Amino acid sequence: MEQNTGRAPAPHDGDLPVLAYLEGVVSGGPPPGDPLPMRYPTAISRLLDFEIVEVGAGTAAVRVVADPALHGNQQGTVHGGFLAELADAAIGTARSTLIRPGESFTSIDLRVVFLRPVWSGELVARARPAHAGRTITHYACEVVRADGKTVATVTSAVITLRGDGAFGR
């Protein structure tokens, strides 16, 4: 009999097709041939030139080179909404690595704390689960600029949808 530890069971090989696919993308090799229920890169990530640079079970890092001519606000710094979208992409990618067949997910909360401005250059958003429940997972994400300083911290709650609730998403 399996003891309940309060944690989700560890994934088994083959249980996480999105993780296997994204590991192939990050390593530069050909991704597995099976079709996925999700799209990578997403349309918004293509538009904003986001790149997945690290991935693991429940974690992800997404990179972009910020350009004030494209991503700037009226003060000339990178727009806060752009930073929020970068973090949301990392969180969504992290969550997708744990999705099993017949499941989907959606964010139910996103909170951003801006710590310092960014004018241009490389930004990396690293997302990880802060608490994983059966249905709702809370994520923490830091957006870091090239000098290693954190520019924003982001938290999000993501709900896993199963059965009919996951269909068509």
More confident: 166 or 140:
140
Domain boundaries, the chain: 17-27+36-166
Q: What is the pTM of this model?
A: 0.87
Phi, psi angle pair for 23, to nearest 5°:
-60, -40
What CATH number should be reported for the domain whose range is 17-27+36-166? 3.10.129.10
Alpha-carbon distance 38 to 78, whole Å?
Answer: 29
111 CB-side CA count, 13 A: 7
* Position 1 pLDDT exceeds 80: no
Across-strand partners of 152?
Answer: 114, 143
21-38 confidence digits (pLDDT tens): 899 889 887 666 666 767
pLDDT digits (tens, 9 = 90+) for 70-123: 999 999 999 999 999 999 999 999 999 998 888 999 999 999 999 999 999 999
